[in-house]
Amino acid sequence: MARLRITLEYDGSEFSGFQLQPNGRSVQGVLEAAIAEITREERRIYPAGRTDAGVHARGQVAHFDTGTRLTPADLQRALNAVLPRDVAAVALAEAPPDFDARRDARAKLYVYRILNRPEPSPLRARMTLHVRAPLDIAAMAEAALPLVGTHDFSAFRGAPGGAPEDENPRRTLHRVALEASADEVAIVAEGRSFLRHMVRNVAGTLIEVGQGRRAAREVAEILASRDRSRAGATAAAHGLCLEAVTY
């Protein structure tokens, strides 16, 4: 039996999320089905993090055990031959027997992408949030600064019904930055772990700052309040992508 580490890229548009769903199409479901088809083994996949419905990944990492005689390279090719077009194994290698994709992760890098121009883009519609009016990038960057470090992020936590209420809301963000290139604005967030909808709630709040609907200084006040009702709306899922996981 060998433990394998797999890196996945997927377009989350047609998925109900990474995690298995009783009545929905999931990344985990199609991947486990592909592994079973190739190896004749029923294996569970354990990801670095569970992305929500509609969220994409360029560098999701997961692990699973297998007794197949196929080399990792051959198994990777076989998986990509049977996986649907919206998910791919971009790397596959043997890992130490105690490797754990979630617990061993040192940081996850998320990017929320905004198309900031009057005209929509059919080619980028599935991967970016379209905001027509120009955003104040400097104000958004200023507003993001207080979020770096270790804080209680209750104000940016998903609504009740997601994570258990007794979950520790303290998280550490190594970086929250704004990057602009041509007609796109990216909100970059890097940390070891995140609360449910945390990055999308941060993005929604920073977008409101960029639109002039709230002052940059308010973000520090929102964070300190621990009150979700004071933060901005949850930004749409399709703008978010899990870019990389570091170990």
Active site residue 100: no
* SS3 at position 186: strand
Structure tokens at 238: 């399709």
**How many residues would you count in the chain?**
247
Structure tokens at 125: 């519609």
For CA atoms 13, 244, 63, 107, give the dihedral sign. negative
Q: Which of 52, 86, 100, 104 is catalytic?
A: 52
Query: Residue 241 to residues 11, 58, 204, 213: CA-CA distances in angstroms?
Result: 9, 7, 15, 25
- Return the number of other C-beta atoms located less than 10 Å from residue 16's C-beta: 18
- The whole-angstrom separation of Cα 209 and Cα 156 is 15
Catalytic residues: 52
